[in-house]
Chain A
Amino acid sequence: MEKYDVAIIGGGSAGLAALKQLSTLGKQAVLLEAGKKVGVKNISGGILYSKKPNKGRVYNVEDIYGQNFVNEAPLQRKITKYLLHATSKDKVFSMDLTAAHEYQSNFGYSVLMNDLNAWFAQSADESAQKCGGGIVPGVHVNNISWDDEKERTIIQTDELDEFQVKAVIAADGVNSEVAQITRARPKFSAVQLYQGVKAIVKLPEDIINETFAIGADDGEAHLFAGDITLNHLGGGFLYTNRDTLSVGAVYHFDSLLDSPIEPNTLLDALLKNPMITELIKDEVPVRGKIDKTLEKEKQMQIRFAVTKLIKTWYEIRDVYLSSSRRKELIKTGKFNSEDEIKSKLSETREKMSSQYGIQFKTDYVEDEYGAKLIPDGKRCRMKKPYHKNVLFVGDAAGRGVFVGPRIEGLNVGIDDGVRAANAIARALEKNNFSQGYLGEYYTKSIEESPYTKDMKEIDKEYLKIFIDATKDVPKDILSAKHSLVLKLMSSGAIRSMAAKFVNVLGYERLLPVIESEESYVKVPTELAERSGKTISSSYTPSIPLLADRIAKLNYNDDKVSHIKVLNPNNDFMKKLVMLCPTKCYSEENGQVTIQHEGCIECGTCSEQTDWKHPRGEKGINYRYG
């Protein structure tokens, strides 16, 4: 049996940070990732932050991957403006939360996980190989067993011969199988989770710069609440990437269970909002109808030619409308000048319309649909994030910061990964992997993390920034109770006292008041109605059907289902018929059955099913994530 020092299960940003840190400390570690490549299973909102807390320290990306991280990594855009919009039909009331976004922060960049994790992986793998380890993709861990007599931990997978390690880092995400194998924690329940769905909208770089009126490297984040929630607890977001937009909806999962609604309907509600409609608009080619009376072969030739032309047109246009790519291709000699690209583009366009009847209309283009469960650290962080010599990090440990508009997960997982790596490096030196020496040390380190503090307590400084941002909100919109609280909170001394009082009482008791229908739906809707600006939409976006969204996704089908329905007739399962983001469930004669082929592995159904990740390389492959 092969022997390694450490196994890291899961190649998300937390697992990769752990690998990088262990390798930097000269320790041997292998990272096992179920996806065909690192990154293909990952999806996030997403913004990656680097934080500078007032008290204590956190491990940021640049601490692990080098101070040149910002210049080298495939980041999208630096978020320089952060807005919250209250919506009601065609009215929008906007509040600037940039100060809250910049609170204790070095930077926040919009990111796409597939590219970013691939970059993390390359850096971590290079370091790991120097220590005799590395990244092994396409491997699904199905069991961990302990042979106490021989003091060894054995990792079993669907794909490889079993092997032996001294310690394990579980970085297998919100639906952690390692947590189930080790029974370190129960599955997360609806009240502890959010369900997020996201669409990647394609939009050329220059058009983004123009639409949002921003510089080539700047980006914006927009949050939405109000009638776009369709009376559910949660909201929407839109982040600018380099040449795409991330548009998504995030909702308290228990609120969705209370009144089930299809997740894509919530996403559509967002896309139909006139403000967003205007932000995503682009010019889109529409294929002409092929004459069905023509010979079959001729029809096929036309179809192929049209596909080829549209592909070429997009390729040239993406270059033409991106200043950096334009310059690069002229520099490498692919084109001689900008005019040449321009004339080639208009030439192609002319050919499209004159030869094949392709027309152009105002619309938007969606490139990828995805979904994810998000753990709310306030409610579900593991108090003891270990079991024997297995340490849990990131989503697997239920750790994410959700405080009003402040949403952070990636940086929290990265911080955890480094702490777990440090704890294991220390244990390797003493060859002591006991719970007392390893697990408890790691727990202590996690407890010291400023992120843990953010999950446990209200931060009065942050509260002040948030209250300041809402100063233009007419107070009579709020209920008497909320209005009084806000009034009191405006005074520094009372706010300080109140925050202390709440923290003593237990932060989680206050959550139902903060995260209520009033704050997500009623107040924003009324606010928009009363004080919002009217925005009219210049076109009706053709929003794809769910079936078309799924058809665009890339799967490596597995004949065997990775999910087994346990109770086909219970209430939860019946609600999944609505709540599964890719409609994998259907009900017939009171019995719920699954068709797993379209599953995007979000885990919405995991609480009450026998839920495993697919075998190595199988299942969804996100292009953007």
Chain B
Amino acid sequence: MEPLNLAVIVKLEPDFSEGNVSYKPDGTLNRNETKSTLGPHSGIAAKAAFYAKVKYGAKISVCSMGPPWADIALQQAQQTCDADVLHLYSDRIFAGADTLATAETLKTGIEKMQGKMDIVFSGHRASDGETGQTGPQTAWKLGFTFIGNVISYDVNLEKRTVVAKCLLTLNGVPNVIEEIEAPLPVFLTIDPSYKSNFTTVSQRIAFEKYQKEAYERARNFKQSLKVFNIDELGVDKTLVGLAGSPTIVYQVERIPKGKATRQAEVFDGSNSEHIRKVVAKMREALSAMVIK
């Protein structure tokens, strides 16, 4: 049986945690002062790939399109999924790409990876832009079966199929979990509620072993990293970057604030007089709820 060959596409995003994020006076994000990190949804995709590493001993490649310093996103992803190979597609020509042009770059990169690809993973969306369609578009370009909103999956190595559970959220209808079986190769986008489930001692021991290996590899991540410029990648210049983007963001407007309809009173938690007032209000509200 051939070992599974996997790829994960990831994105470098601003770190929105307190103490790391910085804003301009007009309230917009100051990208120069804000640290960057692996996008949280990309992290979940890497976690999902790691499941196959632990369970099936899969080979994992992680790739990203971004500036040279996006290698830290790859490093973080490697620490999550114990990736064997890291690809960074970095060239000035790639700048200004919309999701379709990004998909073209990623597709070309994935096709350049060694061996026949079985599963490609991506996150559900990004935290700094509505670019959730990059995954599906890459799948379409690769010609892989696409399965979205995956919350868990397993691979049947003999049949060479994947069985995935997907979360369907429909307006006004209770959530539905759909189970889909599809022949490899497939492209999975991973739902934020994804959870890896290891149920035996041997799987858990393998999990710990690969996790340790991942930590070591991530420490020396440059050894597994390969950076491609446009020529090395060999992609059509008209299909990538600004030139290959049919859509352009030409203006960003702030969402106007809605008019508040409720009457809010502000209480200071450190003022005991205020606390007393809140308790009295709560008591009033609670006693009104008692059915007499």
Tell me if A30 is interfacial: C-beta within 8 Å of chain B. yes
Interface centre among A133, A136, A161, A297 (most CB of B within 10 A): A136
A304 to B22, CA, bound (A): 8
Q: Which residues of B contact A74 (CB under 8 A)?
A: none
Chain A residues with Cβ below 8 Å from B212 are 125
Quote the shortest CB–CB distance from A125 to chain B (angstroms). Answer: 7
B202 cross-chain contacts in A, Cβ below 8 A: 2
Cα-based distance from A101 to B202 in the complex (angstroms) = 44
Q: Is the CB of A308 within 8 A of B208?
A: no
User: Within the assembled complex, what's the spacing in Å between the Cα atoms of A449 and B201?
Assistant: 34
Indicate if the CB atoms of A134 and B200 lie closer than 8 Å: no
Could you tell me the distance between the alpha carbons of A307 and B17 in the complex, rounded to whole angstroms?
11
Instruction: Please give the distance in Å from B57's CB to the nearest CB on chain A.
Output: 15
Measured between C-beta atoms, what is the minimum distance from A157 to chain B in Å? 9
Indicate whether A160 sits within 8 Å of B204 (C-beta atoms), given known contacts A134-B209, A297-B27.
Answer: yes
Which residue of the partner chain, among B19, B23, B198, contacts A301 with CB atoms under 8 Å? B23
Taking a contact as CB atoms under 8 Å apart, the answer to whether B200 and A30 are in contact is: no
Q: How far is the CA of A462 from the CA of B286 in the complex (A)?
A: 65
Residue of A nearest to B26 (CB): A297
**B21 at the binding interface (Cβ < 8 Å):** yes
Q: Which of A135, A160, A308 meets B199, CB within 8 Å?
A: A160
On whether the beta carbons of A304 and B21 are closer than 8 Å, the reply is yes
Report yes or no: B201 in contact with A30, Cβ–Cβ below 8 A.
yes
Q: A383 near B: Cβ within 8 Å?
A: no
Using an 8 Å CB-CB cutoff, how does the interface string of A110-154 with B read, 1 for contact, 0 for none?
000000000000000100010001111101000000000000000
Would A304 and B19 be within 8 Å (CB), given that A160-B199, A160-B200, A163-B200 are in contact?
yes
Q: Is A4 an interface residue (CB 8 A)?
A: yes
**A-contact bits for B195-229, CB 8 A (1 contact / 0 none):** 00011111011001100100000000000000000
User: Any chain B CB within 8 A of the CB of A311?
Assistant: yes
Cβ of B238 under 8 Å from chain A: no
A4–B201 CB distance below 8 A: yes
Distance, CA A161 to CA B197, complexed state (A): 12
- Contact: B19 with A308, CB < 8 Å? yes
Contact with B along A543-577 (1 / 0, CB 8 A): 00000000000000000000000000000000000
Smallest Cβ distance from B283 to chain A, in angstroms?
16
Q: A160-B199, A161-B199 are in contact. Are A139 and B205 (CB under 8 A)?
A: no
**Contact among B18, B20, B27, B205 with A30 in the assembled complex (CB-CB below 8 Å):** B205
CA distance A161 to B198 in the complex (A): 9
Which residues of chain B are within 8 angstroms of A4 by Cβ–Cβ distance?
A: 201
Residues of A within 8 A of B201 (CB): 2, 4, 30, 136, 160-161, 163
Residue of A nearest to B202 (CB): A2
Measured CA separation A163–B200 after assembly (Å): 8
Interfacial residues of chain B within 153-205, with CB under 8 A of chain A in the complex? 198-202, 204-205
**A134-B209, A297-B27 in contact; A2/B204 too (CB < 8 A)?**
no
Q: Is the CB of A307 within 8 A of B19?
A: yes
Q: Which of B199, B208, B209 contacts A137 (CB 8 A)?
A: B208
CA distance A2 to B202 in the complex (A): 8
- A308 and B205 form a contact (CB under 8 A): no
Whether the pair A308, B20 counts as a contact (CB closer than 8 A) is yes
Shortest beta-carbon distance from B108 to chain A in Å: 37
Known: A129-B209, A134-B209, A297-B27. A139 touches B204 (CB 8 A): yes
Contacting pair B205 A133 (CB below 8 A): yes
> Which B residues lie within 8 Å of A139 (CB)?
204
Cα-based distance from A135 to B19 in the complex (angstroms)? 35
Minimum C-beta distance from A163 to chain B (A):
5
**B199 (CB) vs chain A CBs: closest residue:** A161
Distance in angstroms from B236 CB to nearest chain A CB is: 41
Q: How far is the CA of A4 from the CA of B201 in the complex (A)?
A: 9
Query: In the bound complex, do residue B208 and residue A125 qualify as a contact, i.e. CB atoms below 8 Å apart?
Result: yes
The docked-state distance in angstroms from the alpha carbon of A163 to that of B201 is 8
Chain B residue at minimal CB-CB distance from A165: B201
Chain B residues in 8 Å Cβ range of A308:
19-20, 22
Asked whether A2 lies within 8 Å of B205 as measured between CB atoms, the reply is no
B200 partner residues in chain A, CB cutoff 8 A: 2, 160-161, 163
What is the bound-complex CA distance between A125 and B21, given in angstroms? 38
Complex Cα distance, B18 from A301, in Å, reads 10
Contact A304 B18 (CB under 8 A): yes
How distant is B259 from chain A, measured CB to nearest CB, in Å? 16
Chain B residue contacts of A2, Cβ below 8 A: 200-202
Indicate if the CB atoms of A129 and B20 lie closer than 8 Å: no
- Encoded as 1 (CB less than 8 Å from any B CB) or 0, chain A from 266 to 302 comes to 0000000000000000000000000000000100010
Q: Closest B-chain residue to A125, C-beta based?
A: B208
Cα-based distance from A177 to B199 in the complex (angstroms): 22
B19 neighbours in A (Cβ, 8 Å): 304, 307-308, 311
A303→B208 CA distance, assembly (Å): 39
CA distance A30 to B207 in the complex (A): 14
Residues of B near A303 (CB, < 8 A) are 18
Contacts of A305 in B (CB 8 A): 22
Q: From known contacts A301-B23, A308-B19, infer whether A129 and B205 are also in contact, taking CB-CB under 8 Å.
A: yes
Instruction: Give B102 Cβ to nearest chain A Cβ, in Å.
Output: 30
* B23 neighbours in A (Cβ, 8 Å): 301, 304
Closest to B206 in A: A134
Q: What residue of chain B has the Cβ atom nearest to residue A309's Cβ?
A: B19
Q: A163 — which chain B residues lie within 8 A by C-beta?
A: 200-201
With known contacts A161-B199, A301-B23, A136–B18 Cβ distance under 8 A: no
Contacts of B204 in A (CB 8 A): 136, 139, 160
Residues of B within 8 A of A307 (CB): 18-19
Q: Mark A160-186, 1 if CB is under 8 A from B, else 0.
A: 110100000000000000000000000
A125 to B215: give the CA distance in the assembly, Å: 15
Minimal Cβ-Cβ distance residue in B for A132 = B205
CB distance from A237 to the nearest CB of B (A): 34
Q: Chain B, 7-44, contact with A by CB distance < 8 Å: what is the 0/1 string?
A: 00000000000111111000100000000000000000
Cβ contacts under 8 Å, B208 to chain A: 125, 134-137
CA distance A573 to B90 in the complex (A): 65
Give the docked Cα–Cα distance between A257 and B23 (Å). 54
* B266 (CB) vs chain A CBs: closest residue: A292
Minimum distance in angstroms from A303 CB to a CB of chain B: 8
Give A210 to B100 CA distance when docked, in angstroms. 62
Residues of A within 8 A of B199 (CB): 159-161
Cβ–Cβ contact B20 & A136, under 8 A: no
0/1 per residue, A340-368, Cβ < 8 Å to B?
Answer: 00000000000000000000000000000
Q: Are A134 and B205 in contact (CB under 8 A)?
A: yes
Given contacts A134-B208, A304-B21, 17 further A-B contacts (CB under 8 A): A30-B201, A125-B208, A125-B212, A129-B205, A134-B205, A134-B209, A136-B201, A136-B205, A159-B199, A160-B199, A160-B201, A160-B204, A161-B201, A163-B200, A163-B201, A301-B23, A311-B19
Residues in B lying within 8 Å of A, measured CB to CB = 18-23, 27, 198-202, 204-205, 208-209, 212
Interface residues of A (CB under 8 A from B): 2, 4, 30, 125, 129, 133-137, 139, 159-161, 163, 297, 301, 303-305, 307-308, 311
Q: List 19 A-B contacts (CB under 8 A).
A: A2-B202, A4-B201, A30-B201, A129-B209, A134-B205, A136-B204, A136-B205, A160-B198, A160-B201, A160-B204, A161-B199, A303-B18, A304-B18, A304-B19, A304-B22, A305-B22, A307-B19, A308-B20, A308-B22
Top 6 nearest A-B pairs (CB, nearest first) are A134-B205, A136-B204, A307-B19, A308-B19, A161-B199, A311-B19
